[in-house]
């Protein structure tokens, strides 16, 4: 699919001649998930491309080249790769701008001997949780200097002197080492985090939407300003996922990461199954208990889980993929009929994130999923989260814990603050490994589809149909469909259609599913 066709030559100010192989990507549609490519290592006199591992097609992308040298004569180049689309062909043009490393201020974030001064944005559920766990934890050298909030007249549990509505009281205060971003507005949070990193302040955030939507830029800012950004609290609350993937699974061959990443939807599904509550009643309960986001569609629509999946894919597999390229089907269309179907088949329905590696292809999506009784995820109830890792050597491992809530998330944030005291930062090891992974939507899925009107389903999208049931008020089919179709076609998100994943199919399973496929399709 990708062929090396273009040679781009560039002569820099130091009179070195650099030759890059760019790639022509055929049949590219920028609206579809694009597959990261690799520029390769180009052997040239005294130059090795060390860090050009992956590119994502965007209008502009910036990455580093380091000169490999035993004498550490390091030089950095900022390179913009511009996408040009000419009919159905696209190619990169590369512009290089050398910047000497020694012109960048080097910072040391190992702060073990000093007391960290924190500037916190947000004093809601997580902000107050952080204050609570910090005040009860001995041995963490950190004090809260200032807290920036939005509404000055709200009643607070701390002295008024702590609070401000002026961000620059934190961002422009040279005494503050660490900015802790815990607000519920991802756009405002983006500007706060960007400015903090640019000003050389370490940042801790729990905001998965902000991080997932700006991952590439945040990677760049961390490198450019040599300021760490940690965000353990953004994925599965109190369960240590990110640092585990970075450190423990550094060299094991992970084949899949899946799990329940959203506490409020799990709470709702647990209440629907175990107590027979209606969806709306269960949602209200989750919101009252502080498990749900201010905007419920973020949770019930599977967006929150998808943002967490994006972050996880980077640390698990070294894959950078934008959220809009990942399918998320939420739980808002599920009915008691679906829950009843699951129970009759000895399963429960959970909103599960899936990141699956087959060869070098990685498929990823969020979907309600039938979970069987021998799957550890079946015992993850209420606001709890669970994550399953499968790898070549350690086989299956399961982590569970509180995925949301004031103190659990506050404790994950505090763990990041603590990590800063010993100079910890993410190295994004998988991203820099030489293995190239590719985002793929060519994954065949076996799904249960309940519908009201059969004309609302695009039947030609199905590869096979193995079961069909129709009655006055309950219709469903079981069939196989490619992930790509579900991502592209609007019918999959129709309010009157409910889709639940039965299984992820291997390619060769297709023939075996239904020998009478043609007849079944015709009958529909
Ligand atoms: N809740 C959880 O269990 C949980 C779990 C994991 C991650 N998170 C993430 O943590 C973050 C915070 O969530 P939360 O549940 O703590 O939210 P929250 O309870 O709604 O609190 C939001 C806080 O942000 C403040 N705020 C909003 N916009 C602001 C702005 N522009 N400048 C300064 N302060 C601003 C609000 O100020 P006022 O007090 O003046 O209104 C409030 O204190 C979100 O990104 C969320 O996704 C939450």
CATH number of the domain that 507 lies in? 3.30.70
Ligand 1: does its nearest atom lie under 6 Å from the Cβ of 404?
yes
Query: Does residue 45 have a pLDDT over 80?
Result: no
Residues 224 and 246 in one domain: no
Ligand 1: does its nearest atom lie under 6 Å from the Cβ of 150?
yes
**Least confident segment among 218-222, 293-297, 400-404:** 293-297
Query: Does residue 519 have a pLDDT over 60?
Result: no
* Domain final residue pick, 176, 202, 234: 234
Q: Regarding predicted confidence, which is higher, 75 or 129?
A: 129
**How far is ligand 1, taken at its centre, from the CA of residue 296, in Å?**
14
Residues 359 and 263 in one domain: yes
Mean predicted confidence (pLDDT) in 177-198:
97
Q: Convert the pLDDT of each residue in 422-438 to its tens digit.
A: 899 999 988 877 677 89
- In angstroms, the Cα distances linking 163 to 192, 197, 413 are 16, 22, 20
Of 119, 124, 167, 260, the residue with max ligand 1 atoms within 8 A of its CB, to mutate for a pocket test, comes to 124
Strand 347-358 with 254-260, pairing: antiparallel
Query: Does residue 403 have a pLDDT over 90?
Result: no
**How far is ligand 1, taken at its centre, from the CA of residue 429, in Å?**
30
Confidence grade of residue 361 (pLDDT, cut at 50, 70, 90): very high
In which element (H, E) is residue 370 found? strand 361-372
Report percent pLDDT > 70 for the chain.
74
Mean predicted confidence (pLDDT) in 463-468:
96
* Domain final residue pick, 216, 234, 252: 234
Confidence grade of residue 48 (pLDDT, cut at 50, 70, 90): very low
**How far is ligand 1, taken at its centre, from the CA of residue 128, in Å?**
10
The residues carrying an active-site annotation are 308
Evaluate whether residue 464 is within a structural domain. Answer: yes
Query: Does residue 293 have a pLDDT over 90?
Result: no
Evaluate whether residue 435 is within a structural domain. Answer: no
Task: Write down the pLDDT at residue 110.
Answer: 52
Mean predicted confidence (pLDDT) in 215-244:
93
Distance CA 406, CA 143 (A): 19
Task: Write down the pLDDT at residue 248.
Answer: 85
Residues 55 and 128 in one domain: no
The residue behind tokens 């060519």 is 442
Residues 251 and 390 in one domain: yes
Task: Write down the pLDDT at residue 524.
Answer: 54
Locate the ligand 1 atom nearest the alpha carbon of residue 186 and give its number. 45
Q: Residue whose CA is closest, atom 44 of ligand 1?
A: 184
CB within 8 Å of 159: residues ≥ 6 apart: none
Residues 393 and 278 in one domain: yes
Locate the ligand 1 atom nearest the alpha carbon of residue 183 and give its number. 24
Ligand 1: does its nearest atom lie under 6 Å from the Cβ of 185?
yes
Mean predicted confidence (pLDDT) in 164-193:
97
Ligand 1: does its nearest atom lie under 6 Å from the Cβ of 98?
no
Residues 170 and 277 in one domain: no
> Residue 124 belongs to what domain range?
116-234
Residues 252 and 336 in one domain: yes
Average per-residue pLDDT for the chain: 79
Q: What share of the chain is helix, strand, coil (3-state, %, to 5)?
A: 30, 30, 35
How far out from the chain centre does Cα 307 lie? 4
Evaluate whether residue 517 is within a structural domain. Answer: yes
Report percent pLDDT > 90 for the chain.
61
Confidence grade of residue 515 (pLDDT, cut at 50, 70, 90): very low
Q: Residue whose CA is closest, atom 13 of ligand 1?
A: 184
Task: Write down the pLDDT at residue 278.
Answer: 87
Q: Residue whose CA is closest, atom 21 of ligand 1?
A: 124
Confidence grade of residue 79 (pLDDT, cut at 50, 70, 90): very low
């Amino acid at each position: 699919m990708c062929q090396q066709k273009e040679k781009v030559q560039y002569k820099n100010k130091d009179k070195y001649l650099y030759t890059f192989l760019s790639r022509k990507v055929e049949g590219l549609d920028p609206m579809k998930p694009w597959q990261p490519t690799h520029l390769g290592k180009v052997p040239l006199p005294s130059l090795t491309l060390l860090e050009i591992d992956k590119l994502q097609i965007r209008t502009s992308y910036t990455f580093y080249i380091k000169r490999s040298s035993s004498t550490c004569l390091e030089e950095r180049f900022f390179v913009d790769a511009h996408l040009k689309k000419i009919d159905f062909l696209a190619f990169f043009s590369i512009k290089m701008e050398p910047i000497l490393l020694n012109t960048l201020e080097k910072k040391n974030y190992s702060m073990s001997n000093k007391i960290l001064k924190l500037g916190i944005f947000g004093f809601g559920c997580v902000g107050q949780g952080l204050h609570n766990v910090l005040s009860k934890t001995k041995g963490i050298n950190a004090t809260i200097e200032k807290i920036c909030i939005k509404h000055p007249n709200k009643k607070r549990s701390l002295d008024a002197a702590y609070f401000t509505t002026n961000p620059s009281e934190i961002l422009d205060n040279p005494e503050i080492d660490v900015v802790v971003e815990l607000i519920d507005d991802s756009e405002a949070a983006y500007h706060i985090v960007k400015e903090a990193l640019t000003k050389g302040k370490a940042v801790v955030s729990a905001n998965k939407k902000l991080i997932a939507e700006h991952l590439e830029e945040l990677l760049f800012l961390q490198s450019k300003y040599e300021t760490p950004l940690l965000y353990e609290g953004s994925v599965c609350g109190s369960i240590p996922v990110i640092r585990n993937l970075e450190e423990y699974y550094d060299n094991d061959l992970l084949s899949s990461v899946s799990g329940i990443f959203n506490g409020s939807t799990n709470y709702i599904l647990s209440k629907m199954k175990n107590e027979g509550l209606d969806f709306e009643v269960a949602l209200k309960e989750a919101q009252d208990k502080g498990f749900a986001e201010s905007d419920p569609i973020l949770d019930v629509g599977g967006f929150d889980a998808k943002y967490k999946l994006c972050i996880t894919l980077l640390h698990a597999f070294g894959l950078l993929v934008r959220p809009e390229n990942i399918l998320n089907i939420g739980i808002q269309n599920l009915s008691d009929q679906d829950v009843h179907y699951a129970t009759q088949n000895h399963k429960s329905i959970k909103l599960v994130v899936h990141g699956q590696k087959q060869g070098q292809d990685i498929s990823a999506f969020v979907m309600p999923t039938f979970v069987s009784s021998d799957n550890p995820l079946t015992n993850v109830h209420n606001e709890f989260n669970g994550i399953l890792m499968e790898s070549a050597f350690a086989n299956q491992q399961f982590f569970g814990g509180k995925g949301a809530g004031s103190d659990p998330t506050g404790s994950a944030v505090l763990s990041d603050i603590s990590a800063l005291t010993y100079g910890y930062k993410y190295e994004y090891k998988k991203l820099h490994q030489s293995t190239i992974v590719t985002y793929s939507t060519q994954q065949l899925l076996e799904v249960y589809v309940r519908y009201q009107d059969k004309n609302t389903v695009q039947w030609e999208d199905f590869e096979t149909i193995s079961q069909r049931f129709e009655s006055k008020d309950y219709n469903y089919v079981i069939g196989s469909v490619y992930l790509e179709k579900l991502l592209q076609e609007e019918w999959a998100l129709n309010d009157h259609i409910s889709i639940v994943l039965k299984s992820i199919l291997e390619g060769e399973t297709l023939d075996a599913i239904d020998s009478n496929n043609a007849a079944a399709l015709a009958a529909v």
